[in-house]
Amino acid sequence: MGPAHLLPTHSTQIFRRCKGLTSFRLYIRHYATQPESAALQRKKVWASADAAVQDVKSGDIVLSGGFGLCGTPETLITALSRRNDVHSLTAVSNNAGSSDLGLVKLMKSGQLDKLIISYLGGNKYLERMYLDGKMSLELVPQGTLVERMRAHGAGIPAFFTPTGASTTVETGGIPIRFKAGGFKEGILIPGNKKEYREFNGKRYIMEPAIAGDVAFIHAWKADEAGNLMFRHVANNYNNAMARNAQLVIAEAEEIVPIGSLPPNAVHVPGIFVDRVVQATEPKGFDIIATAPPPGTTGGSSPEELLEKSTRRRIAKRAAQELRDGFYVNLGVGIPTLVTEYLRPGVKIWLQSENGILGMGPFPTEDQVDPDITNAGKETVTLLPGASIFDSTDSFGMIRGGHMDVAILGAMQVSQAGNIANFMIPGKLHHICTWTHVTPPGIGGAMDLVSNPEKTKVIVAMEHCAKDGGPKIMQECSLPLTGARAVSQIITELAVFNVDRSGGFLTLMEVAKGVTVEEVQAKTACDFKVSDNLGQM
* pLDDT-above-90 percentage for the chain: 79
Q: Mean pLDDT throughout 415-428? A: 80
Backbone angles phi, psi at 388, to 5 degrees: -125, 140
Q: State the pTM of this model.
A: 0.89
Q: pLDDT tens across 248-300, in order?
A: 999 999 999 999 999 999 999 999 999 999 999 999 999 899 998 877 766 77
Region 329-350: mean pLDDT is 94
Q: pLDDT value at position 441?
A: 77
Taking only the tens place, the pLDDT of each residue in 345-357 is: 999 999 999 999 9
User: What is the pLDDT at residue 206?
Assistant: 98
Q: Over the range 209-234, which residues count as b (16 or more CB within 10 Å of their CB) and which as e?
A: bbbbbbbbbbbbbbbbbbbbbbbbbb
For residue 72, which amino acid is it?
Answer: T
Helix axes 391-399, 142-153, angle to 10 degrees: 120
In this prediction, residue 300 carries a pLDDT of 79
Q: Compute, in degrees rounded to 10, the torsion defined by CA atoms 405, 200, 197, 498.
A: -40
Which residues belong to the active site?
353
In this prediction, residue 231 carries a pLDDT of 98
